[in-house]
Structure 1
Amino acid sequence: MYDSLSSEARLKLIQCLNGLPQTQFEELVFALNVALGVLPGKEAAHGLRTKALMEWVEGPTGSGLRALLDLLSKYVDLETTLSGAIPTDTHWLVPYPRNPFFTGREDLLQQMYDTLICHQRAALTQHKRAALKGLGGIGKTQTAVEYVYRYQSKYKHIFWVRAEQTEELLASYSNIAQALQLPGYDPTDRPAVVGLVKRWLEANERWLLVIDNADDLRAVRQYLPLRGAGHLLLTTRAQALGEIAQPLEVAKMGVDEGALFLLRRSKVLSEDADLSAASEADVGVARAIVAEMDGLPLALDQAGAYIEDQILSLEEYREYFQTKKAELLQERGGVSADHDSVTITFKLAFEKVADKNAAAADLLRVCAFLAPDEIPEEIFSAGDGLLGEALSVVAQSKLTLSKIIAKAARFSLISRNPQTKTLTIHRLVQEVLRAEMDEESQKQWASGVVEAIAKVFPSASKHENWPQCDRVAAHAQVAAQLMTDYGLASETAAQLLNNTGYYFNEQGRYEEAEPLYTQALEMNQQLLGKSHPSIALNLNNLAGLYQAQGRYEEAEPLLTQALEMNQQQLGQSHPSIALNLNNLAGLYKDQGRYEEAEPLLTQALEMRQQLLGKSHPQVALSLNNLALLYRDQGRYEEAEPLYTQALEMFQQLLGKSHPQVALSLNNLAGLYKDQGRYEEAEPLCIQALEMSQQLLGQSHPQVALSLNNLAMLYSDQGRYEAAEPLLNQALEMRQQLLGQRHPSVATSLNDLAALYKDQGRYGEAEPLYTQALEMFQQLLGKSHPSIASSLNNLAVLYDAQGRYEEAEPLHLQALAIFEQVLGLEHPHTQTVKRNLQILLKKKESP
């Protein structure tokens, strides 16, 4: 074994270490017991880690060469690796130096190693061929360069071919033939030279041929060797590779990986430092820049070069980028000329697409005005001539549209998910495409996109439409911003805003719903004047949002205004006015203003009976709502016949099996439960649950409601074992359907906590009560009845545990909210008062 090495053998040892796969390198470091801090982190360039390892091995505290070589011999043949000087029959035709700023990509490099060297996948011909594919500027070439330097010891001959232009490709093959000194080489006969090189490759081994920028695979195919014991590595923007090579996708950089690269490239950090060496402020700004550039390595390299060149801070660059994005995307930086700027890279790719197919170019232009991820393909078919003439002609056929998408994806400007039938485009591609248009063109495309999205966004009043609403929602939000940016206003646009707001409202996403409702209202006022039935509807929807959040003082004037507007426009008796009366009464009921709510509900009922007849679904709904009011007041004897009448009417009008019938069964069962008539309530709850499951599927908000109601019935009876799984099922269903943060989810958490409390499982109840309270506070504001109820529930739990000092302030907060929102005489207010009095007596007792 070796105790010392010649300089030539030492060089070969370093090359060997550089060529080790990361997993083997880490095993070696672990076996040598290298102390923490000796080597740079795993995200550092591999060569820097090798250098640090060799310095430690040969240093006074290191393991010594013998220990290193003993371990290394388990991975490589040292006799061959370290024997003498570098052989003279090797060839190195690589035009790029190793990139000292290269960061990350370890998983991808391992995939390349596995595909080309380990032969662990696919057939023999595929084992030796790999292709790095992806968007221009994503880092394909730099990753190939890193692979070449890292694993150069695995090869005797490494050749680099530029393939962007045919002339470059032919010149590269000529250089290879000259370096190999091939017999018959004639630099003037380029086609013959290609044949000479291919035959040499097919007859020899341990070579690596890198064909860079092989975007036109049909043209490149004729230059590839058909066999041989070497490896072929391509970089390409092409999406479909067929049998040419094993495709390896080059993805955009993650936030931390990109931040580290930017900090190194801008010289804020040294080449071998990791993120921990940077200040929190610099890391935070770097991460923000990475997010804004969507992890595109070329853009980050460009930013780093510009920061270095102009002697800027990261924060200064970020401020400039936010205001001068298009301008900065053109700036390559004075010290970096190895790659075109982001703007030129994407602009040239787009021009190639446009030259080949006008419809594909139109499709890319449309994508530039949508959200960048998960773009539904049906949007392109809905343009009706508004999304470019060329695209409109072909988009009506799924087959021709799929062909156009493939052409648009040819240079990886977009990618397609065939499972979801959606497209993705990089944010900076969008930026460059928009910047190439004049303002009038931008407005024209934006207008067409808004109209197309409106056509594919369905009504959210039906739950079965929710998957499609969710599919388009992000793009509808972008459309709302386009309306603002380009001054777009139309009744179709206002309807899209209203529909999207309604969907978010149903999802409990109130913060997202409110600006859309407000924008729809303002747009309709601009288009239709201050008094129009559509504006009354907008006011009604916005008021409903405020009511759901407990913002009763804001909701009431809107509901009153909507009612007065419709009365003025439609007369005193109209179905829309009945709806307004019903909604205003609902607000009063929620506030405990029962005396004001009742005449409005009665008036709405009578108006519907007069206008729609005695037997109509809207009449049944009014009966149901009046019964709800009576139930809240404890007027059970008056509520029951109304519930029964509404149920019978729904059954007669809608059929025995209908979602509305299931809701009516639920309501009647709830009344029986409140009266302690459990034996009558249970079959109705079960019937409502089974009907909802049959009509709406096993997973639906109404099914979750039925599960919850049945569980609470069991809980009231002390049948805890039967109740708990139903409550858990309802909770999980609501979380899945409505998201992790929704008022109904908070209600489920609260009900499950109550079950645990009743069983004395206080430790399990408390975190659920706390979570429900925090969720209500976040979603509904600080003064909503549900928050007061949660405070009261948590206080009762503390009371049961003797934690009086913690319970008292919660009771006081709950009481203050109920008194302010519902009034002094409301039953909820009185309940909290009693709870507080009981607590105070306990505190006074010795």
Structure 2
Amino acid sequence: MSSGDRNARGARNTPTVWGNIPPRSPNFTGREELLDQLHRRLLVEKATAVLPHALHGMGGVGKSLLAVEYLYRKMTEYDVVWWISAERTAQISLSLVELAPRLGLTRGSDASSTVAAVLEALRIGKPYSNWLLVFDNAESPKAVQQFFPPGGHGNILITSRNPQWASAAKPLEVDVFRREESKQLLRLRGPEISDEDADRLAEALGDLPLAIEQVATWHAETGMLVDEYLRLLDEKRVDLLRGTAALDNQHPVIAAWNISLDQLETKNPAAYQLLQVCSFYAPEPIARALFARMPRGSIAPELDAALEDPIRLGQVIREIGRYSLARFNHRNNSLQMHRLVQAALLYRMTEEDRATMRRGAHLLLAANDPNDPNDINRWDRYGSLYPHVVVSEAVRSQESWVRNLVVNEVIYLLRWGDYTSGLELARTAYETWSETLGRDHPQTLLVARWLGFLLFTMGSYQEAADLNASVLDAYRRTMGHDAQDTIDALGNVAIDHRVRGDFAESLTLTESVHQQYLRMLGPDDPETLRAAHNLGVSLRLAGDFARARDVDEMTWNSYVTMYGQDHVDALRTWLGFILDIRELGEYSNALLYHQEIVERSAFLLGGDNPLTLSAFRHLATAQRLVGRHELALRTAEQTRDVLMRRYGPENPETQAAALELTVSLRQCGHVDRALTDGIEVWNQFTRLYGHEHPHTLTAAGSLANTYRVRGDAAAAQHICRAALRHLTTRLGDDHLSSLACRSSLASCHHDLGEPDAALELDTDAYQRARRMYGDDHPHVLAQAVNVAVDLRSVGRSEESDQLRDRTVERFKRRLGSRHPALRSAADLDRMVIDYTPMPL
């Protein structure tokens, strides 16, 4: 920390960034030694975990209260203090995304990109190096540690009931109160309580801080005599011990709350019923707005009346707070219950009561569904609903609109970027609804479609294909071949054909889907435009770039007219259009567009957004094609590194970036590294797609080029022969990938002293390329240079010179006089032709 940081902080009373910190308890008592220990450890340790004492291992010892008190006492010693509810990874992501703008970061369109940017900003200490993140109720070290900044000068504070944190962070064990601390808190709220009575109460409650606070509040509100309270406590404890052993050593505090709950149930049934409903939610903040929208159906008469009247609802919430049964946070207007209060409520309910109140919890959640998970402005709402959807087991609801909320949460998690949580929720819903509703039920099939897309996104291709095929079959049986749902499902199956390398079949299916939407909905319907975008993808993969350009340009213009040029769908189709014109040889224009879309996407969506990263990866290719090789290498390496960090080494996008990097490495003279990396990329492509997938074969062709440049033409020839045989079978003789591989094989023959064979192959490739792309396409010009080299090798020098001269002039007009290829053409150096696989 610099002296400037210290001086700036000394001039203020709070941190620059102070977020989501729960209210300070006005009755916090004792714990001075623990607070001192915590401060000393945070000064030394990177991460400190506040855990329950091993002898107790239970909730209610005041871990979170201790953390909150520490923050309020030491706030001026930090620049950033941020509180994170850490029971679920989705909530951690949401909290870190909320932190992004406070750090001066642009909020991206998905969680992962924004979270990565936040963690990186904290790591490098810009704009703030002295930060403290609090992960509250962090149960799983493995799940939570991925959200720790990888370095930096800040600190991490964890509160948890899980003793496993002791091996992952410096532990600080929190025990129950010392007896004097218990008596101090009791007398703080009830000065008239004698020392002897305070001692009896503390003994009965096992000095558990949460129970002591609750009893102190109860006594202050009711004035009940200590003897009477202890008698009731004994009765409730006996009832508990008769009823269940599942509560273990929580009996004292559960019994204490049952006394308060008895009183509340009698005095204010609506307040008691609201607590019952909330007992099915996550022990995390429940926005008061959740109760402001009337559910589609009755829950209980008293609660229904309170929900209909905002004034009465406010009175109900205040009554709950009077008995310390829940805390109301006025800063974020939310209600939060301790899990032990929830346990007490659940224990008291009959099976019928539980069914009624769980249904009420689900109805309130469904009433708050914005029903538009694709709208980024609705994501905060879905994020706040998500933990309660999961904990309340909304997937088991019998109400269709509750199930609709579950599907919308799946879509939100997908768009948000939390693929793991989305996959878990989608899989749970699919399995549950398959059993309760049947596999052919419309909502079962709907969530199955999203499950299939999540599986595809995460690279589980075979599982996605199997599921998509079964969904398509179900729709055809139940709704017919022409139903819109059936057509949508057919589009998903077309994607599976791309994954298998069946580009022709995928094109046939995608074109069929587009034509059906044109007939059903017209050319400008959003569903038709989505189908048109997918048609462009299939056309590119099949090598028909001219038609893909026409389709994409029309689709892009329609998107811009409908949504504006900054809409995600418009940007995605614009990227497709840029790829089309690039592959048609318009390298200079494509580079300008690539630069523009990278800047626009990064500004709108964030630098680590998948669309931004895809555009950045293709920018490296465009830079290489216009001859800016060193810049292309830097761009390719940066893209590969970001994708590696975000998705891991086995992700298809990471491997596509790694392939582009090997080409740039070779062209910049780093041949040995290009070879090592190229072998790994080819092996990874083989694992992802199989030996005969066009993408794998293209990676093999690139690897062969590296072998040849390195001087091992025999190895390159062996690879090229096999790759070309499979490529022509899969894609035909005229696909750019086949033509590039044919040229590579010809170069191998040339280097091995077989000029006649080289000339035959090069001439064939050259003539095919001319017919497909005209005389001025850069690939055609490169093929012409290689033919000229072959002509010189077989003694036909005059023909060679004439072809070279014509080609040099065409290169000047097409690529400019400074392109490196111009000198190679003039010197009759053989040209290495690489092909970049198109996205699936």
Equivalent position to 1:834, from 684, 696, 701: 701
Aligned residue number for residue 545 of structure 2: 636
Structure 2 residue 284 is matched with structure 1 residue 364: no
CA distance 1:389–1:701, change in 2 (3 Å): farther
Equivalent position to 1:772, from 612, 628, 643: 643
Aligned-partner SS, 1:329: helix
Aligned-partner SS, 1:416: strand
- TM-score of the two chains, using structure 2 as the length reference: 0.53
Structure 2 residue 670 is matched with structure 1 residue 758: no
Structure 2 residue 383 is matched with structure 1 residue 470: yes
Match runs of 1:416-495 below 5 Å: 416-458=328-370, 459-480=372-393, 488-495=397-404
Q: Which structure is larger by alpha-carbon Rg, 1 or 2?
A: 1
CA distance 1:392–1:536, change in 2 (3 Å): same
Structure 2 residue 477 is matched with structure 1 residue 568: yes
CA distance 1:217–1:801, change in 2 (3 Å): farther
Structure 2 residue 474 is matched with structure 1 residue 599: no
Indicate conservation of the 8 Å contact 1:678/1:713, yes or no.
Answer: no
Equivalent position to 1:582, from 474, 485, 491: 491
Question: 1:473: how far off?
Answer: 0.7
Aligned residue number for residue 509 of structure 1: 418
CA distance 1:324–1:548, change in 2 (3 Å): farther
Indicate conservation of the 8 Å contact 1:160/1:172, yes or no.
Answer: no
Question: 1:638: how far off?
Answer: 1.6
What letter is aligned with 2:377? E
Aligned residue number for residue 373 of structure 1: 284
Aligned residue number for residue 307 of structure 2: 395
| In 2, Cα distance between equivalents of 1:588 and 1:511 | 24
CA distance 1:357–1:591, change in 2 (3 Å): same
Aligned-partner SS, 1:395: helix
Equivalent position to 1:410, from 299, 311, 322: 322
Indicate conservation of the 8 Å contact 1:368/1:431, yes or no.
Answer: yes
CA distance 1:350–1:535, change in 2 (3 Å): closer
CA root-mean-square deviation: 5.3
Match runs of 1:295-310 below 5 Å: none
What letter is aligned with 2:330? P
CA distance 1:683–1:394, change in 2 (3 Å): farther
Match runs of 1:170-569 below 5 Å: 213=216, 324-330=245-251, 341-381=252-292, 382-383=294-295, 386-458=298-370, 459-480=372-393, 488-569=397-478
Question: 1:385: how far off?
Answer: 5.5
CA-to-aligned-CA distance 1:260-284 (integer Å, 9 cap, x gap): xxxxxxxxxxxxxxxxxxxxxxxxx
| In 2, Cα distance between equivalents of 1:348 and 1:550 | 54
| In 2, Cα distance between equivalents of 1:109 and 1:547 | 46
| In 2, Cα distance between equivalents of 1:422 and 1:527 | 34
What letter is aligned with 2:180? V
What letter is aligned with 1:465? R
Question: 1:512: how far off?
Answer: 2.2
| In 1, Cα distance between equivalents of 2:405 and 2:248 | 33
What letter is aligned with 2:274? L
Indicate conservation of the 8 Å contact 2:427/2:451, yes or no.
Answer: yes
CA distance 1:148–1:105, change in 2 (3 Å): farther
CA-to-aligned-CA distance 1:407-460 (integer Å, 9 cap, x gap): 111132211222322221111111122112222222221222122222223332
| In 1, Cα distance between equivalents of 2:382 and 2:505 | 37
CA distance 1:374–1:491, change in 2 (3 Å): same
CA distance 1:493–1:172, change in 2 (3 Å): closer
Higher deviation after alignment, 799-808 or 588-597 = 799-808
Match runs of 1:600-615 below 5 Å: 600-615=509-524
Match runs of 1:31-180 below 5 Å: 142=177, 145-146=180-181, 168=193
Indicate conservation of the 8 Å contact 1:532/1:569, yes or no.
Answer: no
Indicate conservation of the 8 Å contact 1:163/1:169, yes or no.
Answer: no
| In 2, Cα distance between equivalents of 1:682 and 1:803 | 24
Q: Between the two structures, name the one with larger relative contact order (CA 8 Å, sep ≥ 6).
A: 2
| In 1, Cα distance between equivalents of 2:434 and 2:182 | 62
Runs of 5+ in structure 1 lacking a partner? 1-18, 30-42, 44-100, 115-137, 150-158, 174-209, 221-301, 303-319, 331-340, 724-753
CA distance 1:786–1:581, change in 2 (3 Å): same
CA distance 1:845–1:545, change in 2 (3 Å): closer
CA-to-aligned-CA distance 1:599-639 (integer Å, 9 cap, x gap): 10111122122222355333333222211222234421121
CA distance 1:601–1:424, change in 2 (3 Å): same
CA distance 1:113–1:585, change in 2 (3 Å): closer
CA-to-aligned-CA distance 1:484-523 (integer Å, 9 cap, x gap): 6xxx544344333322222223333333223322333344
Match runs of 1:565-714 below 5 Å: 565-650=474-559, 660-675=569-584, 677=586, 680-681=589-590, 699-700=604-605
CA distance 1:103–1:562, change in 2 (3 Å): closer
CA-to-aligned-CA distance 1:663-701 (integer Å, 9 cap, x gap): 4334323433444536645776788789989xxxx6547
CA distance 1:106–1:592, change in 2 (3 Å): closer
CA-to-aligned-CA distance 1:523-543 (integer Å, 9 cap, x gap): 443454443433332332221
Question: 1:140: how far off?
Answer: 13
| In 2, Cα distance between equivalents of 1:597 and 1:761 | 29
What letter is aligned with 2:303? L
| In 2, Cα distance between equivalents of 1:573 and 1:541 | 21
What letter is aligned with 1:357? N
What letter is aligned with 2:505? E
Indicate conservation of the 8 Å contact 2:290/2:365, yes or no.
Answer: yes
Indicate conservation of the 8 Å contact 2:296/2:367, yes or no.
Answer: no
| In 2, Cα distance between equivalents of 1:645 and 1:102 | 59
What letter is aligned with 1:573? D
Q: Sequence identity of aligned pairs in percent?
A: 19
Aligned residue number for residue 789 of structure 1: 656
CA distance 1:139–1:645, change in 2 (3 Å): closer
Aligned-partner SS, 2:322: coil
Indicate conservation of the 8 Å contact 2:591/2:623, yes or no.
Answer: no
| In 1, Cα distance between equivalents of 2:63 and 2:601 | 58
CA distance 1:103–1:513, change in 2 (3 Å): closer
Question: 1:584: how far off?
Answer: 1.3
- TM-score of the two chains, using structure 1 as the length reference: 0.52
| In 2, Cα distance between equivalents of 1:374 and 1:470 | 12
Indicate conservation of the 8 Å contact 1:102/1:146, yes or no.
Answer: no
Question: 1:593: how far off?
Answer: 1.8
Aligned residue number for residue 246 of structure 1: none
Indicate conservation of the 8 Å contact 2:183/2:195, yes or no.
Answer: no
Indicate conservation of the 8 Å contact 1:811/1:836, yes or no.
Answer: yes
Aligned-partner SS, 2:335: strand
| Matched positions, count | 531
Indicate conservation of the 8 Å contact 1:385/1:392, yes or no.
Answer: no
Aligned-partner SS, 1:404: helix
What letter is aligned with 2:260? A
What letter is aligned with 1:457? D
Aligned-partner SS, 1:531: coil
